[in-house]
Structure formats: structure tokens, C-alpha cells
Amino acid sequence: MALAVGLATGCSAWRHTPEQKMAHELQALQQAVPQHVTDPARAARLSEAIRGLDTDLTEFRREFTTMREDLRAANARPDVTRPELEQLIDGYDTRRKALRTRVLARHAEMIAATTADEWAALAKHERKALSAAME
């Protein structure tokens, strides 16, 4: 019985979408802030940066999904030209770079709002959220 429950629980984790995993980790990060950052001003700065990271990673996921769909649609066309595909990929690459720069800025904001010990306690949630965003 315990094995069946364990297998069912383990299998259900595989059904979470990258968006759900990302949201879960960002929520866990937000909830951990009051436990680890006691200075109210720094905690507020950190919470604001986390909300911004949520926005940026959500946009990154949306951009990734759109690009994948656009590439599949273009690739399915027998008359698609190489320049069309290159233009599609170049546009995606430009937008992805801008989003990556914003995500890096959010990371820097979060580190600036925490001590080394505080960040060590919080960083795992950011790493997991970033990993989910890249799935």
C-alpha cells in the first residue's frame, strides 16, 4: 500500500507544467523571505524583485512557447524559405536576450537585498524557478 501511494505521489509530480513548477518555487521564495530576512526594508526590496522575476520568467516562458509554435508552423510549410526561418529565429533571439538581461538584473537586485547567509537560504528556490522556466 505504501509503495502504491509513493508511486502515485511520485508520478503526480511529473504532471506539473513548467509554469506550475516555476510559480510554486517563486511562491516558496516569496514565503521564505520573512523567515530569513528580518530587516523590513530589505525584505520589501526582495519581495518586489521576486514579483518582477515572476513577471519576467512568465514572459520568458510565453516567448519560448510562442517561438516553438511559430517554428513548428513554419517548418511544416513546404514553401518556407531559409531567410524566413532565420528572421524568425533572429527575432526570438533578440527578445530572449532582452529577457535574459532583465532576469539577471532581478537576480542582482535579490542578492543586493540580502546578506550572504540570507541568500544561501533562499537561492535554491530561485534556481528551481529558473530551471522550470527553461524547460
Q: Please answer whether residues 81 and 89 qualify as being in contact, where contact means their C-beta atoms are separated by less than 8 angstroms.
A: no
Residue 4's pLDDT is: 43
Write down the pTM of the prediction.
0.81
Residues 6+ apart with CB under 8 A from 81: none
Residue 14's pLDDT is: 55
Q: Tens digits of per-residue pLDDT, 6-64?
A: 444 555 545 889 899 999 999 999 999 999 999 999 999 999 999 999 999 999 999 98
Boundaries of every domain in the chain: 18-133
**Residue at grid coordinates 520589501:** 44
